[in-house]
Structure formats: C-alpha cells, structure tokens
Chains A and B, each alone.
Chain A
Amino acid sequence: MSEQIFHDSESDRAFRPSWLASRLVIYAVLLLWAVICLFPIYWTITTSFKAAPDVMQGNMVPWVDYTPKWLGMRSLGLSPETIFTESTVREEFLKRFWNSTVVAVSSSLLALFLGSCAAYGLSRFDYRFGFMRNSDLSFFFLSQLILPPVVLALPFLVLYKELALLDTRIGLILLYTLTVLPIVIWIMRDQFGSIPTELEEAALVDGLSVWGAFLTIIVPIALPGMVAAFILSLVLTWNEYFFAALLTSTNAKTLPVMVASQTGSQGISWWSMAALSSAAILPLIVIGILLERFIIKGMAAGAVK
C-alpha cells in the first residue's frame, strides 16, 4: 500500500466535530423550548383525568403513573356515563361555549368585512374628507390599536346600560369588532397592495363596476390573506376576557369569564378546572395546528414589506 499523500488539513478535521456539536446544541435548545411550550398544555389535559391522590403524588404519565379517570369530564357533565343524563353544569358550559363561539365568529366576520372594504379603498383610491388624506385615514384606523381597552370599558359600561345592550351578545360583538379592526385593516392593506391594479383595470374595461371588480376578482385572489386576518381576529376575540368580565353577567357570559369565575372557588378539584381550561384552549389549539400556515402569514404581513 502506498502511503497517503494528501491529508485533510488540521482545521478541516477539526471542522466535523464542531459542526456536530453545534447541531447538538441547536436541537437541544429547540427541544427544550418545545417542552417549555408544550408541557403546560400536556399538564392541563392530563390533569383533567387525575383524581386527588394522583395530583398530590405528582403523577405525570397516564397509564404508567396512574389510571386516567373521567373526573374532569364528569364535572362538566361530558363523561361517558353522564353525557346522556340531565346536567346543569353541562347546560351552563355549553351555553358559555356557544356564546364564545357566536361572539368570536361574528365579530371576526364583521371586522373582516369592514376592514377589507376599508383596506381596499385605502390601497386603491384617493380620498379627501376635509383635511384627511389617505395617509391620515390609514393612521386614524391603525392608531386605534394603541387605545387600551380600559379607556373604553367604563364609558361603554354606562352607555350600554343606557342602550340596554349590557349583557347582550350584540354589545360584545360590536366592541370586539372594534378591537380587531385595526389588525384586519393592517393585514388586508398589505394584501391588496400586492395585487396589481391591472387586474381591476381589465375588469372595469370589460364593464364591471368598481364593487363588481372588487367582489368577483379581488376578493378571491386575496382570500388567503383574508383567512389569515380572520383567524388572527378569532384568536384575539375568543380569548378576550376584560370586556366580557365587565360587560356581561348572566346571559352573554363567555367561556374565559366562566373559567375565571371558577378559578376562585376551585378548592382542590383540579380536574374540573383542568377540564374547563382544556375546553377553553382546545378549539384554538386545533385551529393552530391545522391552519398554522395562515397565522404565520398574517403575522408576517406586518413585518416584511
């Protein structure tokens, strides 16, 4: 055998282990953070199947440390043996869940409609209302984002009392629409800005009206952006607590308010709180896993022009 003439230089041979080490560090950090993100969710969902001794002993893994029981679900009236019987807790829970759904979906839809129209107008036409030009109008809409909810909360409490809108879903829907409208306008302005105007010009030449072109040509193209804006609004409105806590009492109470009111009186019945919390977070977790693409797209819209 002839002797090897060409050797890797010292620095090249050192490269491989350091590359491996950096890989290891990267994956270790990623995994650590994934655990930090997922463990509370895992903890909540598993705790809803634990009995008191399991909680006290700190059992973590179902079927290994402890046998899961339907305690949490039973406290909501949703476990297999209680689901077909009468249950006031379930009635209550379903009512709150339904309230949350109605309020979140309709306010997001309303915000999407108002916001898309406004964003389209701002990206296409020149407006002049008094001294307000396009940039002023954009600023007017977006500046609503700064407004902290607490400034509006007490005046609305009084106003809604006068208007008999306190403790109604409509009242909440209107307020929630207001809070997410700037975000929708922000995302949609970006979306419409990236669609070339030649499309509408062609449509207009072909005899469509401005609104016809908007509805039949532009909206279908901007649909992914609209889904992104819709989901972001849904996340914010589903989780909203502050207004709901102040403005609702019996009829229109939403799920977060129910969760919060149970927290105080929990004692040690962790399973029922855990079941309730899981119910409050699960819909959005499912949405997050399925539609992650749209959420990221929506949030990235503001970041990169």
Chain B
Amino acid sequence: MSSTEGNQLHVVTADNISDSRRLFGRSLIWGSAALLGLVIVLQLLDQRGGAALGFETWRPTLYAYLLWASCLCWGQVILYGEHGKRSLFILPAALFVISMVVFPLIFALGIAFSNWNLSSPDGRQFNGLDNVRQMWGDPFYWNALRNMVWYVLAIVVEYAIAFGLALLLNAQIRARKFFRVAFLLPLMLSPVAVSWMIGKSMLEIRFGPIARLARELGWDSPSFFGSPEMARAMIMIMDAWTFIPFMMIMILAGLQAIPRELREAAEVDGASAWRRFWEITFPLMLPVSVTAILIRIIFKLKLADIIINVTSGGPGGATDSVTSFIFREYRDRSNVGYGTLLAIVYLVLIVIAMTILMKLADRWMKPRY
C-alpha cells in the first residue's frame, strides 16, 4: 500500500548533463571519499604508534566525514540534475541517522565482546564470550528483564483508564478545554522532576501528603518503597501518571473520528450504552488502540529516569528496569564492555518481541467477516 504512496508528483525535466559535469561530480564524491579514507588511515597509524603525527582526538576524521557527506549531497545534484535535487530531500536525514545509529551500533558490537574498564589504563581487551557467560549467571539482569515484563503488563490498566477518560472528554461536558489541558499537563513534566515531586516528597513517609492521607484512612505506618511489590507498583503509578495523557489523547482523536450516525443508528435501534460501547465504539477503536498501545510499549521499554532517581533499583533490585540496571552497572563499575553487551541483548529481545507483537496486531486488526 505504501509503495504507491510515493510517486505522486510527476515532473518531467530535460536534464542535459554534459560529460565534463559528470566527471566533475564523480571526482568530487570520490575525491572527498579518498580524503576521508586517507585521514582515517593516518589516524589509525598515529594511534597504533606507527607514525607520530600528533593527533589528539579523532576530530579530523569527523571533519573529513562531514566534508565527504556534503560533497555526496552536492554531487547528487551535479550528477543527476533534477533527480539529484529530489534525493537531496532525504539524503541529509539518511546520512545523519546512518552515522548516528548504524555506525555506533557496529562499534557497540565490537565493544560488547571485550572487557573495557574506562577507569583502568589497560584499555580495551577482547575477551570473547566471557561477557555472555557473565550475563547468563547474572541474576540481577534476568530480574530486570522480568520487571520489564511487569512494567509492560501495567499498560493494560493504563489503557483502560485512558480509554475511560477519553470517553468522558468526548461526552457532552462543560469546560472541556479546561479538563483537556489539566489532563494533558502531566505529560509535559520532566520525569526527573516528577520523581522528586511525587516519589520523594509526596510519598515521603513522615510529611508527604499522600502518607498523611494514608494515615487518615487508617494505615498506621505507610511505607511506599519498603516491600518489592509496593515499590514496583509505585513506580508503575508514577510512570502511568505521566503517560496516561498520551494514550488518552490518541484515543480521543480516534473517538472524534467516529461518525455520529453510527451512534445514532444504534441508539434508534435501542441498544443500551453498554452494548453500544462494546459492539460499536470499541471495535471501531481497535486500530487506534493498537497503535497507541504499541507506541506506549516502545516508550515503556525506555523507562529509566524515575527508577534511577526514586529507588535506584531498590529494594534489592525489585524495581530495576533494564536501562536503569545498565546505568548503575556503568556508574558503579564503569565497565563499558559488559554494559554494552547487556544493552545489545536487550535490543535483540525488544526487536524480536516487537516484531511478534506487530505481526499479531496486524492479524488481529484484519476484518474477521
């Protein structure tokens, strides 16, 4: 479907590109590429100690890369004329993403199989599968992965609340704008600020307003981060608090796109509100719901800020997410190699899980009649 999405703008241009211009374009691209290669080789030599050229950092390589990237873009226009100008739309973004993601990922693969303590002077040492073996026997990493499953499952509850709120906002109410802004605000807040506002002050055992309220309600010695289950639930609630508006707004947009006639027809047919919801609104909202939940899962998998700042994984690793665990692993031991391996394993698991989920969602959303 999306392959026909492009190709909308048909422009026929007569581009007469002379041979000399073509030659100029080619030499521009290849010349700058050769320069980039030369700089890299020189820097490598310098680092290995073969030649003392006095490079302090890899900045020259960076500049050579930037030069090559701009020559590549300019060369497109020279070589292909009008068509080159079109690829100019997408080329900068593509180059940017490739240099910022693909290259570091390859680099990360190299780091992942080595023992590299940034604070020790030995530098990087290749150690084969040692890191994998260490990971296999690391109960805290598996614990963090298990926690992530719990955190992701909490999305079901968030979704239910968000759907309910969206339905209310979509109803005939006064001061709709006020409620919409009020409900949106938690999303704007920085997780770090939230972890102080709620985690450290409102949930404070002696003076926090929530602890006070709990005492009023008869809970004599409220403790929110004492037991593992309670602490995990608190992290879930704080994270839900900031992100419920996100799902709510997506669902609200979906609700507003449902034509009124459907509802009216069902009303005329005498369907109760309950049945109207389950047989019309909810099925129609399935695609939007699935999109919202998938995006929410993606954001949930990055969960770290609140955990790092409120519990730093405690008690006993009960609230650790994978990200916060690797963060502490690095902070405490500054072992880049092991941390990177854990992160890469996490990435592989995420990619597998998301692919399965997207396939399932695809099948689930196909009409069944």
Tell me which of B17-25, B54-62, B133-141, B226-234 binds A. B54-62
Cβ of A91 within 8 Å of any chain B Cβ, yes or no, is no
Q: Which of A123, A141, A239 contacts B97 (CB 8 A)?
A: A141
Within 8 A of B (CB), among A87-104: none
Chain A hits for B212, CB < 8 A: 58
Tell me which of A8-16, A63-71, A76-84, A132-140 binds B. A132-140
Nearest A residue (CB) for B9: A124
- Chain B residues within 8 Å of chain A by Cβ, number: 105
User: By the criterion CB–CB under 8 Å, are B90 and A40 in contact?
Assistant: no
Cβ of A204 within 8 Å of any chain B Cβ, yes or no, is yes
Cβ of B309 within 8 Å of any chain A Cβ, yes or no, is yes
Cβ of A61 within 8 Å of any chain B Cβ, yes or no, is no
Chain B hits for A193, CB < 8 A: 5
Cβ of A284 within 8 Å of any chain B Cβ, yes or no, is yes
Contacts A34-B183, A124-B9, A280-B192 given; does A114 touch B86 at CB 8 Å: no
Contacts A125-B7, A159-B107 given; does A256 touch B190 at CB 8 Å: yes
User: By the criterion CB–CB under 8 Å, are A147 and B107 in contact?
Assistant: no
User: By the criterion CB–CB under 8 Å, are A154 and B350 in contact?
Assistant: no
Within 8 A of A (CB), among B161-184: 164-165, 168-169, 171, 173, 177-184
Chain A hits for B195, CB < 8 A: 260, 263
Chain A hits for B364, CB < 8 A: none
Q: Which of B8, B92, B354 contacts A146 (CB 8 A)?
A: B354
User: By the criterion CB–CB under 8 Å, are B197 and A26 in contact?
Assistant: no
B66 to chain A, nearest CB (A): 12
**Mask: chain B, 336-353; 1 = CB below 8 Å from A; 0 = not:** 100110011011001100
Within 8 A of A (CB), among B295-353: 295, 298, 301-302, 304-305, 308-309, 322-323, 326-327, 330, 336, 339-340, 343-344, 346-347, 350-351
Chain B hits for A30, CB < 8 A: 168-169, 173, 179
Within 8 A of A (CB), among B1-36: 2-3, 5-9, 11
User: By the criterion CB–CB under 8 Å, are B3 and A155 in contact?
Assistant: no
User: By the criterion CB–CB under 8 Å, are B291 and A43 in contact?
Assistant: no
User: By the criterion CB–CB under 8 Å, are A125 and B59 in contact?
Assistant: no
Nearest B residue (CB) for A186: B295
Bound Cα distance A229, B171 (Å): 28
Extra 13 A-B pairs, beta carbons < 8 Å, given A135-B2, A149-B302, A296-B184: A123-B6, A124-B8, A154-B330, A159-B107, A162-B57, A163-B57, A241-B190, A259-B192, A288-B185, A288-B188, A295-B249, A303-B292, A304-B253
20 contacts between A and B (CB under 8 A): A26-B168, A30-B179, A123-B8, A127-B86, A137-B94, A144-B97, A150-B322, A151-B344, A159-B107, A163-B58, A163-B62, A209-B85, A238-B190, A242-B304, A259-B192, A260-B308, A263-B195, A273-B196, A292-B180, A296-B249
List residues of B whose CB falls within 8 A of some A CB. Answer: 2-3, 5-9, 11, 56-59, 62, 82, 85-90, 92-94, 96-97, 100-101, 104-105, 107-108, 111, 116, 118, 164-165, 168-169, 171, 173, 177-198, 200-202, 206-207, 209, 212, 241, 245-246, 249-254, 257, 288, 291-292, 295, 298, 301-302, 304-305, 308-309, 322-323, 326-327, 330, 336, 339-340, 343-344, 346-347, 350-351, 354
